[in-house]
Amino acid sequence: MEKKGFWQSGHKPSLFGAFLYFDISFMIWGMLGPLAVVIAGDYPMDPVQKANLVALPVLGGSILRLVLGFLADRIGPKLTAQIGMVVTLIPLLLGWLWVDSLDQLYVVAILLGVAGASFAAALPLAGQWYPKEHQGLAMGIAGAGNSGTVLATLFANRLAQHFGSWEIVFGLAIIPIVLVFIYFSLFARNSPNRPAPKRLSEYGNVLKQRDAWVFCALYCVTFGGFVGLANYLTIFFNAQYGLSAVQAADITTICVIAGSFFRPVGGFLADRIGGSRMLMFLYAGAAIMLIGVSFLPPLWLVVTLLFIGMMCLGAGNGSVFQLVPQRFAGEIGLVTGIVGAAGGLGGYALPLILGRLYQATGSYTAGFIILSFIAAASLALTIVMQLKWRRSWLRGVPSGAQTGSAEA
């Protein structure tokens, strides 16, 4: 039977809906990253407090991804996404109308995690429509909603400056999430090939499998590195290079663009040369770039290094999720939530590493050296696992899928 091309093999409105949901949710999830420098004008914070502020949404997202992943499996990704968008309105309203102290802002920050949890519904909605040979590209396109972080870094501080209030940014964010909810409700659909719901005990069964933990570790570094840096770089450029809030966010935008738009490229290339082979190149690239950043070179050079490093991490996100559906095709919603949660934990840890070491040493050098070593350790793990995978589960991948991943 002749295989269909990518655009004929799935459901384009659902793929676009998944992208929009992910995109706007990521914009909301990442707002506190650039706004932290502005908010510090109202609530003075030390480096660790700033790191906590931008890390808490990521921690909330990590926890809630497990919830949304379970719901996506039980009630379907479309309804789960709709619930997620409605709940996202709560921290937006609180941030706009309620916050009057740093402690209250911390509450809003962790509640923003529901926007980050969108991953667990958006990717199954898109991925379940497409066959294995197109999984990398489909998951990459939906996952390119990471680009919502670009909207946050580009516009959040400008809007705060224009209106003279950072709180109004939370109110304005209600508009796009409502518009996406309307489109999503009208046009997105669950795949007719959606797997049957899993029992709660099956979460435990998945976690008994070594590969699930390996994917968690790999994604903890790629996604955690991307989202952690996206949230923290505005603080880094402001503290290290003395840039204003808007200038620091603009430079961060350049770096975030690389990570966001190379996610589908990573998935696309992984379909052709294999997910783990792609990851080996990307982890090596990220390790080299991060060790370069640790020398704190001139601004133009550090931006170049971070751009390439974020590009490697973003493409790595797509590469990891080229592998996941091949290994866990029947549990994709469940595993997406678990692996996504691990990625969130990485994004939570990264700002704390940089913030605490900066406060302790007065320099970002040690923090970036540690991040480089973590990327190098991920490279070593990928090399070891590739050898094991080629002798085990890849033998069961259908020939069409194995064409793109025989080296995965």
**Over 60: is that where the pLDDT of 395 sits?**
no
| Token pair listed for 5 | 């091309």
CA angle 19, 20, 24 (to 5 degrees): 120
Q: pTM for this structure?
A: 0.86
Q: Label residue 171 exposed, middle or buried (CB < 10 Å: 0-12, 13-18, 19+).
A: middle
Sequence length of the chain is: 408
**Separation CA 169–CA 171 (nearest Å):** 5
Higher confidence at residue 182 or residue 10? Answer: 182
Q: For the residues 9-31, what does the mean pLDDT come to?
A: 89
Q: For the residues 33-51, what does the mean pLDDT come to?
A: 94
Percent of the chain with pLDDT over 90: 58
Percent of the chain with pLDDT over 70: 91
Look at residue 1 in the predicted model and tell me its pLDDT: 40
3-state secondary structure the chain: CCCCCHHHHCCHHHHHHHHHHHHHHHHHHCCHHHHHHHHCCCCCCCHHHHHHHHHHHHHHHHHHHHHHHHHHHHHCHHHHHHHHHHHHHHHHHHHHHCCCCHHHHHHHHHHCHHHHCCHHHHHHHHHCCCCHHHHHHHHHHHHHHHHHHHHHHHHHHHHHHHHCCCHHHHHHCHHHHHHHHHHHHHHCCCCCCCCCCCCCHHHHHHHCCHHHHHHHHHHHHHHHHHHHHHHHHHHHHHHHHCCCHHHHHHHHHHHHHHHHHCHHHHHHHHHHHCHHHHHHHHHHHHHHHHHHHCCCCCHHHHHHHHHHHHHHHHHHHHHHHHHHHHHCHHHHHHHHHHHHHHHHHHHHHHHHHHHHHHHHHCCCHHHHHHHHHHHHHHHHHHHHHHHHHHHCHHHHCCHHHHHHHCCC
pLDDT band of residue 403 (cuts 50, 70, 90) is very low
Q: Does domain 11-188+206-392 sit in CATH 3.40.50.700? A: no
**Over 90: is that where the pLDDT of 297 sits?**
yes
**Over 70: is that where the pLDDT of 183 sits?**
yes
Mean pLDDT score across all residues of the chain: 87
Per-residue model confidence as pLDDT tens digits over 129-174: 777 667 667 777 777 777 888 899 999 999 999 999 999 999 999 9
Higher confidence at residue 217 or residue 272? Answer: 217
Look at residue 393 in the predicted model and tell me its pLDDT: 59
Per-residue model confidence as pLDDT tens digits over 115-135: 988 878 888 888 787 776 676
Look at residue 177 in the predicted model and tell me its pLDDT: 96
What are the residue boundaries of the structural domains of the chain, listed by start?
11-188+206-392
Q: For the residues 256-264, what does the mean pLDDT come to?
A: 82
**Over 80: is that where the pLDDT of 38 sits?**
yes
Per-residue model confidence as pLDDT tens digits over 354-375: 999 999 999 999 999 999 999 9
